[in-house]
């Protein structure tokens, strides 16, 4: 959400001693391990089982890797989208009801609900362009974490396969084909029941079955949660998955049907002045009629065919989704009598797919491979709109559009090993977008198209002493909302505006290394930077496009995954970043260059006990530091430290019980903070600039009984 604001007088910066202390602990723990050396050019055989498949020789950048199913299943998650926190440096939070897409942070971005972080599930794009609530909206509430087989991630703009929304990073989630059974090669099933305080209950039944040909995986999930909110959120979620997979004749393919529905009552961010004065509590709502409802169905197909000289990959998908979201962020600022509540709603159909061919061979006598691919996507929104509302009921129309949006991406990539210690990966991607917008505001209807090309280059040096080095550079882009591309006047006031640039150029580079010099430890360091020509975003709250100017980001990441013993896995990930506008924002040149909401420091420390007799468990500490809330840095949020923990016991070979505790130390911190103008009843008509926060949930305990069959 983006809202106008007026910066207050300067305030001092807040120190971040917690982050420094956590970094020292992480570095000290690594330094205490004994060193070992390997012959030059020798590839390490280190496998951190159940952790990250990030071995030397497995990737093209230090910031690339794969998370395995064993680690995903071992860590508790408060919400489904928190599986993305397995991507080092990613923070997932929420500023509204649990049925709404989460907030995401990575590499100095407040990614809002997904902009500049591309997420895929079995080849299906999760990000939604030209969305009612925000560009790139990425809702993962339809995901069942127990079915996730792996998460492959990349950061930066260095892979030709990655297109729109991927400037900060990309996550590709793969579902399991079968559930593990009690014997090697056996198909399994599971039933679990989770109960917790504040009305939390979740039931899951899943089973994979071998058919005459292929395997069928079915799962059904139902959940309910009121949360700690004074106005119970009455969150209800239902999920279903039916997946058929087949692997024969050199072809591996899957067909997956998914269905999801949810409804909830929202408690959005509240002004700090109301909490400080005692007018409301931390978990109160200003407008208790805010609410939402969503539905999603999808059918997707994936295939891999291995050839003597390479492979074919193909995918196709069809998605249908709906959203109705009632929000009130400014309360009584615009409408002192009836309030400022509005509704954002859309009905969407998405059709698309991809096809790629990999050839292996030689180039100048060197081992080489070439890949050509095409990706196609078509979105039909009928309609997408912004409406006035009161008491959770639509009262009027602000803007409504019917949109047809088609994107096509073509890419090619060459991967050549020139010497035993030098490998190059060069790629080129070209994207084209076409939009057709039919708006109720005649001046905002129209058609527009644009294309953009993005070259990429990566060099991999080594390995030497089980260490390799990376140099990566590339160009990427993100798209703007189709309504912004054709808009000529503002939706609310009718004032003339300039149409948004359809495709915005980004450019990134990275230097990194990955090492397994210490037995059992995978470590990587990445020094990166990213420039955006514009941070134009469509402001769903206002129904128009807001320019934020060009920006630059730079930072360093230090990631460590250590197999301390056969039953103990340790993780330590630290990221520092800096985000700045290239020129001061606003009419006043002294307003400042800080990017509001950009996170400077992220730390994640974890310890996982896989099997210590019948016991298992996990402890996770995450910290994301203070953020500037205005461009001149005069208002900053506080840092947030949260701890999760799990303790479990296997009653027998098929039955286990576990206790999960979220916000273990019951910290009174925020999930997110904004600074903007709002008005409560009785306040001056011009409103008051203030920090608006959504608190992290207090200590929450959940108990799960899991039975395999």
Q: Three-class SS string for 527-548?
A: EEEEEECCCCEEECCCCEEECC
Burial of 496 from C-beta contacts in 10 A (0-12 / 13-18 / 19+): exposed
Classify 269 in phi/psi space as left (phi over 0), alpha (psi -120 to 50) or beta: beta
Backbone phi and psi for residue 413, each to the nearest 5 degrees, phi listed first: -150, 140
CATH number at residue 260: 2.40.170.20
Confidence grade of residue 182 (pLDDT, cut at 50, 70, 90): very low
Burial of 10 from C-beta contacts in 10 A (0-12 / 13-18 / 19+): exposed
- Tell me, yes or no, whether 230 lies in a domain: yes
- 8 A C-beta contact, residue 477 and residue 407: no
Burial of 226 from C-beta contacts in 10 A (0-12 / 13-18 / 19+): middle
Confidence grade of residue 57 (pLDDT, cut at 50, 70, 90): confident
Given a cut of 60, whether residue 35 has pLDDT beyond it is no
- Tell me, yes or no, whether 79 lies in a domain: yes
- Secondary structure letter of residue 165 according to DSSP: T
| Range in 229-243, 270-284, 506-520, 574-588 the model is least confident about | 574-588
Confidence grade of residue 585 (pLDDT, cut at 50, 70, 90): low
Q: Is the dihedral of CA 611, 613, 614, 616 positive or negative?
A: negative
Count structural domains, the chain.
1
- Tell me, yes or no, whether 9 lies in a domain: no
Per-residue pLDDT at 588: 53
Query: Residue 151 CA to chain centroid, in angstroms?
Result: 12
Per-residue pLDDT at 394: 98
How do 366-390 and 342-363 pair as beta strands? antiparallel
Given a cut of 70, whether residue 9 has pLDDT beyond it is no
Q: Is the peptide bond before 395 cis (omega within 30 degrees of 0)?
A: no
- 8 A C-beta contact, residue 596 and residue 630: yes
- Secondary structure letter of residue 128 according to DSSP: B
Given a cut of 70, whether residue 1 has pLDDT beyond it is no
- 8 A C-beta contact, residue 603 and residue 577: no
- 8 A C-beta contact, residue 517 and residue 468: no
| Range in 15-19, 475-479, 593-597 the model is least confident about | 15-19
The Cβ of residue 453 has, within 10 Å, a number of other Cβ atoms equal to 12
Global confidence as pTM: 0.90
What integer is the mean pLDDT of 353-366? 97
Instruction: Give SS3 for 31.
Output: helix
- Tell me, yes or no, whether 3 lies in a domain: no
d(CA 640, CA 626): 8
- Tell me, yes or no, whether 8 lies in a domain: no
In Å, what is the CA distance from 342 to each residue of 356, 482, 520? Answer: 44, 21, 54
Helices (H), 188-309: 272-276
What integer is the mean pLDDT of 621-644? 94
Q: What's the mean per-residue pLDDT of the chain?
A: 89
| Range in 53-57, 420-424, 528-532, 544-548 the model is least confident about | 544-548
Tokens of 699: 């200590």
Given a cut of 50, whether residue 464 has pLDDT beyond it is yes
The Cβ of residue 565 has, within 10 Å, a number of other Cβ atoms equal to 11
Percent residues over pLDDT 70 in the chain: 89
168-179 pLDDT per residue, tens: 999 999 999 999
What integer is the mean pLDDT of 497-509? 94
285-309 pLDDT per residue, tens: 999 999 999 999 999 999 999 999 9
641-661 pLDDT per residue, tens: 999 999 999 999 999 999 999
- 8 A C-beta contact, residue 339 and residue 702: no
Classify 94 in phi/psi space as left (phi over 0), alpha (psi -120 to 50) or beta: beta
Q: Which of 674, 607, 589 is nearest to 646 (CA)?
A: 607
- Tell me, yes or no, whether 1 lies in a domain: no
Per-residue pLDDT at 272: 97
In Å, what is the CA distance from 108 to each residue of 100, 112, 167, 169, 638? Answer: 23, 12, 12, 12, 16
- 8 A C-beta contact, residue 51 and residue 569: yes
Question: Rounded to a whole number, what is the largest CA-CA distance in the chain?
Answer: 79
116-164 pLDDT per residue, tens: 999 999 999 999 999 999 899 999 999 999 999 999 999 999 999 999 9
- Tell me, yes or no, whether 526 lies in a domain: yes
- Write b or e for each residue in 19-43: b if 16 or more Cβ atoms lie within 10 A of its Cβ, otherwise e: beebbeebeeebeeeeeeebeeeee
Instruction: Give SS3 for 85.
Output: helix
Given a cut of 60, whether residue 27 has pLDDT beyond it is no
Q: Which of 593, 676, 663, 457 is nearest to 108 (CA)?
A: 593
Q: Which of 570, 567, 556 is nearest to 518 (CA)?
A: 570
Which residues span the domain enclosing 457?
A: 17-708
- Tell me, yes or no, whether 453 lies in a domain: yes
Confidence grade of residue 180 (pLDDT, cut at 50, 70, 90): confident
């Amino acid at each position: 959400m983006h809202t106008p604001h007026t910066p207050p007088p300067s305030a001092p910066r807040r120190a971040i001693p917690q982050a420094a202390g956590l970094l020292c602990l992480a570095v000290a723990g690594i330094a205490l391990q004994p060193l070992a050396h390997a012959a030059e050019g020798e590839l390490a055989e280190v496998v951190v089982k159940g952790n990250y498949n990030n071995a030397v020789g497995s990737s093209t950048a230090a910031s690339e890797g794969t998370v395995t199913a064993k680690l995903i299943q071992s860590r508790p998650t408060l919400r489904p989208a928190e599986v993305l926190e397995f991507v080092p440096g990613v923070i997932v939070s929420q500023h509204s009801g649990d049925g709404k897409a989460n907030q995401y942070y990575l590499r100095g971005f407040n990614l809002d609900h997904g902009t500049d972080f591309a997420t895929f599930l079995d080849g299906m794009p999760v990000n939604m362009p030209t969305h009612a609530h925000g560009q790139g909206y990425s809702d993962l509430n339809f995901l069942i974490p127990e079915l996730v087989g792996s998460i492959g991630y990349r950061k930066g703009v260095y892979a030709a396969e990655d297109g729109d929304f991927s400037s900060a990073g990309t996550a590709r989630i793969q579902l399991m084909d079968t559930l593990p059974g009690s014997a090697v090669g056996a198909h399994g099933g599971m039933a679990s029941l989770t109960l917790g305080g504040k009305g939390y209950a979740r039931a899951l039944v899943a089973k994979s079955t071998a058919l005459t040909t292929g395997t069928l995986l079915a799962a059904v999930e139902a959940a309910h949660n009121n949360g700690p909110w004074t106005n119970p959120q009455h969150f209800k979620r239902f999920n279903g998955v039916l997946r058929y997979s087949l692997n024969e004749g050199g072809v591996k393919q899957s067909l997956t049907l998914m269905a999801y529905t949810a409804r909830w009552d929202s408690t959005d961010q509240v002004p700090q002045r109301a909490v400080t004065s005692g007018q409301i509590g931390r978990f109160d709502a200003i407008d208790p009629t805010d609410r939402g409802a969503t539905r999603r169905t999808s059918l997707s197909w994936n295939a891999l065919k291995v050839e003597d000289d390479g492979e074919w990959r193909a995918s196709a998908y069809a998605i249908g989704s709906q959203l109705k979201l009632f929000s009130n962020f400014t309360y009584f600022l615009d409408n002192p009598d009836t309030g400022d509540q509005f509704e954002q709603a859309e009905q969407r159909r998405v059709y698309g797919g991809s096809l790629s061919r990999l050839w292996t061979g030689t180039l100048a006598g060197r081992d080489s491979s070439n890949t050509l691919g095409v990706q196609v996507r078509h979105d039909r929104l009928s309609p997408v709109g912004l409406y006035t509302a009161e008491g959770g009921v639509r009262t009027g129309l602000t803007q409504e559009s019917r949109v047809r949006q088609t994107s096509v991406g073509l890419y090619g990539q060459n991967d050549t090993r020139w010497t035993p210690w030098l490998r190059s990966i060069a790629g080129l991607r070209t994207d084209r977008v076409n939009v057709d917008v039919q708006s109720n505001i005649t001046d905002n209807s129209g058609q527009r198209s644009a294309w953009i090309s993005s070259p990429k280059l990566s060099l991999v040096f080594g390995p030497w002493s089980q260490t390799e080095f990376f140099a990566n550079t590339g160009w990427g882009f993100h798209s703007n909302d189709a309504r912004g591309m054709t808009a000529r006047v503002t939706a609310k006031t009718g004032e003339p505006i300039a149409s948004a640039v359809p495709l915005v150029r980004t450019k990134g580079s990275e230097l990194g290394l990955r090492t397994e010099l210490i037995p059992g430890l995978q470590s990587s360091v990445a020094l990166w930077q990213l420039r955006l020509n514009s941070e134009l975003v469509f402001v769903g709250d206002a129904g128009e496009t807001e320019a934020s100017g060009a920006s630059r980001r730079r930072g360093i990441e230090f990631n460590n995954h250590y197999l301390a013993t056969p039953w103990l896995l340790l993780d330590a990930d630290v990221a520092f970043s800096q985000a700045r506008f290239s020129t001061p924002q606003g009419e006043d040149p002294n307003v400042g260059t800080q990017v509001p909401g950009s996170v400077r420091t992220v730390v994640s420390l974890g310890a996982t006990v896989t099997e210590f007799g019948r016991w298992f468990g996990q402890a996770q500490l995450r910290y994301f530091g203070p953020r500037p809330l205005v461009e001149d840095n005069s208002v900053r949020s506080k840092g947030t430290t949260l701890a999760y923990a799990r303790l479990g016991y296997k009653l027998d070979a098929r039955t286990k019980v576990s206790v999960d505790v979220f916000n273990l130390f019951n910290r009174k911190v925020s999930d997110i903070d904004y600074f903007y103008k709002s008005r409560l009843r009785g306040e001056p008509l011009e409103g008051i600039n203030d920090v608006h926060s959504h608190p992290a949930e207090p200590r929450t305990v959940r108990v799960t009984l899991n039975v395999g069959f």
